[in-house]
Amino acid sequence: MEVTLLGTGDTTGTPTPGCDCDTCQAAREGGVERSRFSVHVHNERTGESLLVDASPDLRQQFLDHDVDLPNEVCITHIHFDHLDGLGNAYRLFPEVPAHAAAETDPETGESVAGTVRRRYDYLDAVVVEPHAPFESFEACGLELTLVPVDHPPLVCYGLVVEDPETGAKLSLSGDTGYDIPEPSRDALRDPDLLLADGIVPAHLCEYHPLGGADEVDGEFMTFGTKHMTFEGARRLGRDLDADRTRIVHVSHFVPADEAFEDSLAVDGEQYVL
């Protein structure tokens, strides 16, 4: 299983257009990019490729990185920075199954799969495949499982990707706070690689209107209500006994002297599991 981090940033990415903060300037000067989130998983046994989330930056991501266009896609939730790149299926993909959760969101009255179908019903190439949470399904010769996480007010899912032949395991937390339900933690547990949502360091919780949540040992594990802090992401990695944890969905609000620490992912990282 070959994993390429195509996009490791939050909603605006780093550098953010029109922003001259120290972090964005350092990213420009260093040639570092954190575009909107997406992950490419290549199954070398079958030659097939899976895309986890369809970033609005999809076109440039595939131009910048030496990976194949996807045979299948999995969408974790309906926020634009994870979904809107699916429009690139027009003329790029002959046909692509788009896997998503079938569970109805009480906030929208629609499942993630239903939203994808409604948004992209004009694209014959997008074939929506709904799945119940915790029920594994096959994609690109790999075994996938969507698991509920904590990203209010919308439903959102983490994802487990396993190779049934080699036992390699990739876990993605999805966009989430630290308070991930225990059954989901059990499914995500013991990965070779964990991609954990972490948007800023915990000390920036003082600037959030809602502060922080899920305090452990005097530190907030969640920034506001929707995303983990770096401390929460690292602790989740330890909780799940991950062999390796990479922090993704990183914001440009991180102070420049902390924004490029070793545990924080940048676009283009590749891992073989």
What confidence category does residue 93 fall into, taking pLDDT thresholds of 50, 70 and 90? confident
Does the structure show a pLDDT above 90 at 23? yes
Give the CATH number of the domain where residue 121 resides: 3.60.15.10
Task: Tell if the pTM clears 0.95, that is, is over it.
Answer: yes
pLDDT surpasses 90 at 94:
no
Could you write out the DSSP letters of every residue in the chain? -EEEEEE-B-SS-BSPTT---HHHHHHHHHT--B-B-EEEEEETTTTEEEEES--TTHHHHHHHS--PPPSEEE-----HHHHGGGGGHHHH-S-EEEEEE-PEETTTTEEHHHHHHHHTTT-TTEEEEEE-TT--EEETTEEEEEEE---TTS--EEEEEE-TTT--EEEE--S--S---HHHHHHH-S-SEEEEE--B-GGGGGGSTT-EEEEETTEEEEETTTEEBHHHHHHHHHHTT-S-EEEESB-TTS-TTTTT-TTB--TT-EEE-
Mean pLDDT, to the nearest integer, of 146-167? 97
Range of the domain at 248: 2-272
Considering its fold, how many domains does the chain have in total? 1
In whole numbers, what is the pLDDT of the chain averaged over residues? 97
For the stretch 45-85, pLDDT in tens is 999 999 999 999 999 999 999 999 999 999 999 999 999 99
